[in-house]
Structure formats: structure tokens, C-alpha cells
Amino acid sequence: MRASPVGRTVRLTVLLAFLVVFLIPVYVLVVTSFKPLDEADPAAAWELPSSWSLDGWSGAWETLRPGLANSFKIAVTGSLIAAALGSLNGYVLSKWRFPGSDAVFTLFLFGMFIPYQAVMIPLAGLLTRMELAGTIRGLVLAHVVYGIPICTLIFRNYYVTIPNELIEAARVDGAGLLRTYSSIVLPVSGPAFAVTLIWQFTSLWNDFLFAVFLGAPDSWPVTVMLNNTAGSGAVAVQYNQQMAAALLASLPTLVVYLLLGRFFMRGLMAGALKG
């Protein structure tokens, strides 16, 4: 049944209202970031700048550049390792069942519900003994460990949808565990990898707790440095630089979803999160 013209108009009006409300903070961020310092006043946040300036963006870039590089190292490396390990775990737990596999899978799921704060001090002590405290490698290791449970869940539920006949046929032909994985399972794992990589990249990029507790100034990601721009204690608050820094820090995840969002949705529709 087709909606009436009045119904379509009301629906479009409501959606437009939600869109405007959602874009109001974005408008303030963008406009303020291009204002000169003397015009970046919260009282005039709605006004367009009399002269457009890139001073805020250049200052934000100089401040966040080391953090952006660290965030890319942490997010890309951690996402790839966690996705690879989650794929192997999900494959074994779904297609190569063994005694106690259900208990092992339950323990993996239990790891998803352990709050960061509960293990922060033991984790810091462990990284210190491993001589990884305050390093990018230590942050990557912490994120990989915490990312394995969700990655395992996604891949395990996705691999359940692969017909068992394919796995049995490979076994009959003499293929072992790894050969079956590389020849049969891995080539059709694109949707699950899309979901896990986007999920992990976003989570690692936006992390603050691990970074500020386990990191050091040399390994701080962009989230910590962005927080430091807001708490610099300067006499004159550089709102234009802070707004530009907020936009700059959020651009990578925005680009990821704009470019890869359709693959994320395809992965969901393909069964990557089906139980």
C-alpha cells in the first residue's frame, strides 16, 4: 500500500528536522574552525566568519600530527591482527569441533563483558614486566587481546552459514585444517572481514582509557592529544583550533564509514552478526 502524499510529506519533514538537529553541532564546528582567533567566540558561534582563516587548522595539525600517526599505527595494526586471529578462532569453533569447544566459545564471549577498569592495573603490571609499557606495541597488544572475543563471535557466526558439505568435501580430498581454511573458507570471508575491520578500527581509533593509562607521551594517540588541547590552561581559549582539532580527529573514522559503509552493511546482511 502506497503512502498518501500527506504521509510522505510528514515523513520527509520529520526526517529533515532530525537531519537539521544532527547537523547543528557540525555547522558550529566547521564555521568556528575557519574563524580567526578574535572572532572565535561562543557568543557568536552561529555567525559566519568575516574572513575565512586556516590558522585554526594549521595549529590543530601541528598539535595532533604525532597523535594521528600513533593512532594510525595502533588502529591499523591492531585491527588486522585481531581480525586475523578472530577469523582463525571462528573457523575452528564453527567447522572443526572438538571436545569442550562450546566451553571455549563461552569463555571467549565472557571476555567481551570484562570491563577495562577491572583489569587495568594487572594489565599495566604485565606490560611493564614485558617491557611494553608506554609503547605502541603494548597498546596494540592490549587492544588485540580485547578485540579477539568480538572478532571471534562475528567470524564464528558467519562461518556457521557456510555449508558443511564444502568442508567435508575438502576433507575427503585430503585437505587439512589450514588448507581447508585457505582454499574454502578464506575466499568467502570478505563480508565478515569488512565488519570486523571497520568495527575494530573505529573502536581502536576512539579509545581513550587504554591510551591514557597504558601509554606515554611518545605513544599517545590522537584522542589523548585532543583532550590535552581542551585542557591546556591558556588564558585565551583557542576555540578555532579546538574545533578544527575535533574535526581533524574524527575525519578518519568518517572517511572509513563513507567509503566502506556499504561493505559493513553487506557484511551484516550476509549473516556476519547472525546467531
Give, for all 275 residues of the chain, the pLDDT tens digit. Answer: 566 777 788 889 999 999 889 889 889 989 999 998 888 887 788 888 888 889 989 999 999 999 999 999 999 999 999 999 999 999 999 888 788 888 888 888 888 888 888 888 898 999 999 999 999 999 999 999 999 999 999 999 889 888 888 888 888 888 888 888 988 899 988 889 988 999 999 999 999 999 999 999 999 999 999 988 875 554 567 888 999 999 999 999 988 888 877 777 766 666 544 44
Amino acid at position 184, single letter: I
**pLDDT attached to residue 2:** 61
Half-sphere exposure of 260 (CA within 13 A, CB side): 21
Q: Grid coordinates in use for 111?
A: 571476555
Q: Grid coordinates in use for 69?
A: 600517526
User: What does the alpha-carbon distance between residue 193 and residue 84 come to, in Å, rounded to a whole number?
Assistant: 9
Whether this prediction's pTM lies above 0.75 is answered by yes
User: What does the alpha-carbon distance between residue 159 and residue 163 come to, in Å, rounded to a whole number?
Assistant: 9
Nearest to 226 by CA among 207, 204, 200: 207
b/e for 191-218, b at 16 or more Cβ within 10 A?
Answer: bbbbbbbbbbbbbbbbbeebbeebbeee
User: What does the alpha-carbon distance between residue 105 and residue 108 come to, in Å, rounded to a whole number?
Assistant: 5
**pLDDT attached to residue 248:** 93
Residue 35 contacts residue 18 (beta carbons within 8 Å): no
Opening angle at CA 65, ends 221 and 211, nearest 5: 5
CATH for 59-269, among 3.20.20.150, 3.40.50.300, 1.10.3720.10, 1.10.287.610?
Answer: 1.10.3720.10
End-to-end, the C-alpha distance of the chain in Å comes to 32
Nearest to 212 by CA among 199, 203, 221, 202: 221
**pLDDT attached to residue 263:** 73
